[in-house]
Each structure stands twice: as C-alpha cells, then as structure tokens.
Structure 1
Amino acid sequence: MLRHKIKKLPFSIKIVAAVIFSTFLASTANSQTVIEKALVKAGFENVREISKQGEELFYLEGTAFVTKERALKAVRDIFQIHSKDFNNDKIEIVFLERGIPAYKYYSPKQNITGDGQIKWNLDPFITDKRNVLSNIDGKRSQFYNESKWKADLKFYPQFRFKNSRLDRMYVLQLNLNPTLELSMWRGALLTAQIILPVYDEYSNEESRVRPGFFTFSQQLRIPGNIHLLATVGNFNMFRTGADLKIFKPISKSVGIYGQIGVTGWSLPLFDKWLFYDFGQISWRFGTNYSLPSKNILFNLNLTQYLENDIAVRGEIIRYFKNAAIGFYVQSLQFEDYLINGGFFFSISLPPYKHNRNKRVRVTTADHFSIEYIARPYPQRGRMYFTSPDESSSFNFFNRILINN
C-alpha cells in the first residue's frame, strides 16, 4: 500500500497567507459605501460614514471647493440623489477643517419639502463625542481620501497701492506668490511662500525675490465648542512671531472671538534677515453676527494694533456666490483725526473646484483680496495676517458663520 507523505508548509508561508487573508477580510469589511464613493468622487476629503444607534453620521471636508457655499451645494446634491440609500432615519453631516469638526448639518429622513428636497438644519454646536472618530466607531478608524501628508501648491496674486508721494496719485506693487501648504497630522499645516515681484514701486528690498509667509499652525477644538488656532513663523506686515486665535459660537448666528500675538519687525531675504524690536504685543476681542437669509455678517471688535494704538472697528460684509464686499469704520488715535474707514473685497478665483489627482495639487488661490484704507498709516490701525488665505472677508473668526 502506497503512502503519500504530506509535507507541512513552512512557517513563513503560513504567516504570509494569514496576513493576506486578514487584509482581504479587513478590506471587505471596510469597503466604501455608495455615498462614501460619491463624496470621494466629488472631491471631498477625510470622508467617513458611520451607521449606529439609529443615525447615519458622515464626516467630510470640502477642500476642493473655493467657498463653503459650493461645498454645501455639492453635498446636498449628492445626498438628494442617494436619499433612498440611507439605513437610518436621522442624518448628520459633520464638516471638518483640517480634520477637525467645525460645524454640522442634520435632517430627519422624513424631513422633505413639497418639491421632494431634503430640508437641512445648521448647528455650530458639536458634542465632544463627535470630536474623535474612534469615539463613534469604537475602534481606530481611518478616513477615506485622507488629506494627511498631502500638499497644495497655490499661486496667490497680491496687489497693493498707497498714496505716499506728491508726484503721482498712487505707488503700486504687484506680486505673484507661489505657496506650498502641507497638511500634516490632524489640524497641522506647514506653509512656505516665495514672493515673486512682478511690478514694484515700494522699496528696493520689496523688489527682490524673497520669502513670504513661512509658518507652522495647529488648529484644535476643545470641550465647550471652542476653536483654537496657534501659529508661529513669519507673517505679513513685516512681522514674525507667535499668534493665538480663539473662537466660540454662542448661537447659530452669533460668535465671540479673541486673538493675542507677540511679534517683531521682520524682512527675510535669501542672503540676510532684517529683524528687530521683538516683543510687540497685539490683541483683539470681538463678536460677530450673521444674517443667513441675506448673507450678511456684522463684526465689531476692540484691538490693540501694531503701533500700540487701541481702536474700535465695526464691519458689515455682504457675501455673494463668487465675491464678498465689506465696509468698515474705525476709531483713530492720531492728532486731530478720530475716525478712519474704508472698504475691502474678495473675489473667488477660477477654477472654482480644485480636484486633487496627485499628492501635490497645483492650483490658484481660492480668493483675491484687497483692502482700501482712507487714511493709510504704516502700522497705526493695522494688524497682521498669519496665513496667505486670511483676509477681512474670510478668516478664522467668521468661517463658521458665513454662507450657511
């Protein structure tokens, strides 16, 4: 009688087979849902759907869209198409900024208007349990189409003008500033910018190719629906140092905020770095009120500016689909002049959607912004920005309230 010897597989082969099988099971168990696939295809990042305890919870981030309004419209369209694919009656969408929960939209599945559209409600208050994905999913879960360790190369146009000479109406400056923005871990962003002068009448130093914004910033959300943004590095207005911003929504339309920074005068060049007078403290406290039906935002703050002058500033801003325009009045501590004022506007730059096909996305800036000051002074009544996408129209203090 013949005997067939059964050869045992080597231990290493068993390990490899087990790993492959486990990976297959994990990928099968965590395969994307229909709605997750639709959101990723539309350009959303940090996407995740969780069905639990009678509710359908979605996380997503609309970095591909130049305005929050466009991102909201894309989400509504997707959810309207897939309204029959929900497993639970309660639907909640948590919008993220740098992977941090910022605000949410919610709707009961049956909350449908007469024309068949899902009716959504805004809520800037997010429970602390929603702050970490594992709190909901029960395990360390990952987002689909994560933005972590992905970069954007954006080209920011910059136009400045001032009335400082008797022989001409205005002195002009036009720059094109390529900027690399690297998303690191949750809430962390590294920004490196080079200023390329196209036309300059300001100064010899500003006519040179030189570094612009060079910052590291960390965004956080702490219990109590308090949003924090800490930034260190080189800012605009020839300032370098450290800055902390804080914002808290009080209701769907009202928010309060604060800011404090310590900086010094700075002009970085590639062959030298001009720097002095570090220790200048600037601060700001204010409140804003949104009128969503009219897309209008009112803003009021008390600020200590770069010349240690303290002033009150009031703003009214009207937001449109591809633009924003605002007017402001500001107290002024200077000789016989007690009031200053002006206007500012921002225009969305095409393309209005920035799809990411590779790890580095190359595109234009989201907005082009200009501010006109009736009585311009070098530092009196002036405050720095900590990132190239910050302006009076769009900033950390009003992003949650506008275009809702």
Structure 2
Amino acid sequence: MIVLDNNVPQISLYYEPVIGDSVPEASRRDWDVSYDLGDSWKQIKKEKRKNSSLFKVDIVVYPELKLRNLVITQIYQVLFNLNPAIEVSLWKGMKFIGQVIIPVYNEYGSSYEQVRQGYIALSQSVRLPYNIFLTATIGTFNNYRWGGTLDAKYIFKDERFSVDGRIGYTGRSRFEDWRWKVSPLKRFTWNIGGSFYWPEYNTSFSLKVEQYLLSEKGIRFDMVRNFRYVSIGFYGMKVQNAGNKGYNGGFRFQIALPPYKYKRRGYIPRVMPSEYFGMSYNAGNEQYYGRSFNPRVDDNMATENSFNPTTVQRNFLRHDLN
C-alpha cells in the first residue's frame, strides 16, 4: 500500500505476517512502514487511486490565537481570529489556497481590526529519487510577507535522520484601509539543518542555522514530542542583535481538532475546521530579531510528523486488523 499526499507518494506499508504467529489475524507488527517505496510505486502508480484529492475543494476554517506581554498594566494582550480558506488540488502535487482573516477579538491594535487577506498561494510538491522531497511556493504568507520559497528535505537510509532546508525571497505585504500594499522583493531568508527522530518516545530533535527577516543570523534547537492528537515542542535560539545577549526560547503546541475523520461525497466541497490548532509562546518577548515566516498555512510541527513511519504504525494501524 502506498500513501499519497495530494497524489505525491509519501510512504509504503508492506504486510508480511510474522513467522510463527499462531493468531490468524493481522496485527500491527505484521506491517513494515517506510519512506522507501521499493519497486511498489513503479508497479502501481498507473492504477486508479482510492480517495484521490485531485480537483476537489475544501473550505477549511483555521482558528488563530496569539498572546503577547508588552503592557505593564495587562498580563497578556489577546488576538483571536477565524480564518476560512478555500483549498483546491489542481494537479499532482499542486495546491491552491485562498484565505480570509476575520477578526473576532482584538487587543493588538487598529491594524488588526480589518477583514483582510491571509495566505493566497500556489504550492507545488514533488518527490525525487533517494527520498528527496521538494516544495516550491509562491504567494502571500504570514508575518506580512509575499514572494517565493523553496523547501528541500532528504531522509537517510536510517530513517531516524534527515536534513532539510528552506530558501525564501520575499518582500513586505500588508492589507490596510482596504488596499494591498507591497514592497519589492529584496529579502533573502534561509535555514539549513538536521533532525533526529527517537522512535521509542515519538520525539524529534532538530538543529538549524538560519537567516531571518532583518538579515540577522542565528541558530535554533527544537524538541517536539508527538502524541496521537497533540504535539508539544520547546525551542531555544541564539540570534544576532537580539536582546538578552541574543538568547531566546519558548514552547509550541498543536492540537488535533475533532472530528478526526472526514468523508467526501464526490466533488461536493467539504466544510471543516483545520486539522490542527496551535500557537507558540515567545518567552524572551523579542519583537524584532529572529523572526521568520511560514509559506504554507497547513505546515506545522504536527503535519511534519504525520507521515513518519512510527507515527503511522502507532496511530493509524490498529492493533488487530481483520
């Protein structure tokens, strides 16, 4: 069995009963889950897909919650938005997203009061030989950026180890007074680093060198523990020019939103909440340095782990399969 994401192959599931198993039922240990597709993909890639997403439309509502501590007389300032988006699979690996940000509760100031555009982007993903994944994205992103990015990831033969990187070329993008204002593309950002996955505890560790939006450079360490419906992460940074001698850190979390399964009825658009809701907390309260952006609204630490072989084996293969 080959699992696809927007018709791009991700992992293979190979069933082979354990020798000597006296129970005539399939169990979790009978399945070998791997990024290595072997010869299976060549043999079946022309077969009809089951539950293909091609040309199908989703209307996804992304809740957004932010907290900051900048006012002495107030513990936290709160921002809460509901951000519906139209997501369409156009062809193999290609996805369009158009999002609107709708303020619900705002203590961040007048610039956050308007209904405005969020992500409006085209994203193309491909899988190359030797477990190399590439994704190119153009459009408007979060943190007031617009432009293009290229992401690359390589997974080693020992699938606990991987290297990945991102390069971006962007300008400033802001929607004010019902006008979209942009600056020329002139800012390069990038990151590159490696990751280690600890299967016994479903925990990943990553270390990256990065260049941020003000051209300052830094180094960042992340640790993420994944559970079935929750991912919790902690991070630490050392960034040029930042306060507190450049040190900062915090935590992140992503929570899966119910219902956890959705069925399609042909090409009728599905209306649903986002797969995950999450936020991050900046413990050092640094407002200027060490800032970056995300080019895809559904790219987070939980979805990054969704096709990890151990996660699939633990969470989506039941103990006994009839």
In the superposition, the TM-score normalised over structure 1's length comes to 0.71
Query: Hey, what's the Cα distance between the residues in 2 that align with 1:335 and 1:350?
Result: 40
From 172, 176, 184, the counterpart of 2:90? 184
Query: Hey, what's the Cα distance between the residues in 2 that align with 1:395 and 1:108?
Result: 28
* Gaps in structure 1 of 5+ consecutive residues: 1-92
From 358, 370, 374, the counterpart of 2:283? 374
From 274, 293, 303, the counterpart of 2:210? 303
1:256 aligns with 2:163: yes
From 235, 260, 276, the counterpart of 2:141? 235
Identity %: 30
From 14, 25, 37, the counterpart of 1:126? 37
* Gaps in structure 2 of 5+ consecutive residues: 313-322
- Structure-to-structure mapping, 1:4-403, within 5 angstroms: 93-109=1-17, 111=19, 113=21, 115=23, 116-118=25-27, 119-127=30-38, 135-136=42-43, 141-250=47-156, 251-268=158-175, 271-333=178-240, 334-359=242-267, 360-391=269-300, 393-396=301-304, 398-401=305-308, 403=311
Contact 1:150–1:183 (CA under 8 A) maintained in structure 2: yes
Contact 1:229–1:246 (CA under 8 A) maintained in structure 2: yes
Compute the RMSD of aligned alpha carbons. 2.1
SS of match in other structure, 1:328: strand
Larger strand percent:
2
In the superposition, the TM-score normalised over structure 2's length comes to 0.88
Give the letter for the 1:123 counterpart: S
Between 261-270 and 360-369, the greater mean CA deviation after superposition = 261-270
Query: Hey, what's the Cα distance between the residues in 1 that align with 2:191 and 2:303?
Result: 14
Contact 1:305–1:379 (CA under 8 A) maintained in structure 2: no
SS of match in other structure, 1:293: helix
Deviations 1:357-379 (A, max 9, x none): 24211111101001001123344
Query: Hey, what's the Cα distance between the residues in 1 that align with 2:223 and 2:243?
Result: 27
Between 357-366 and 240-249, the greater mean CA deviation after superposition = 357-366
Query: Hey, what's the Cα distance between the residues in 1 that align with 2:176 and 2:73?
Result: 30
Larger helix percent:
1
Query: Hey, what's the Cα distance between the residues in 2 that align with 1:399 and 1:246?
Result: 17
Q: Look at both structures and tell me which one has the larger radius of gyration over its CA atoms.
A: 1
Which residue does the alignment assign to 2:317? Answer: none
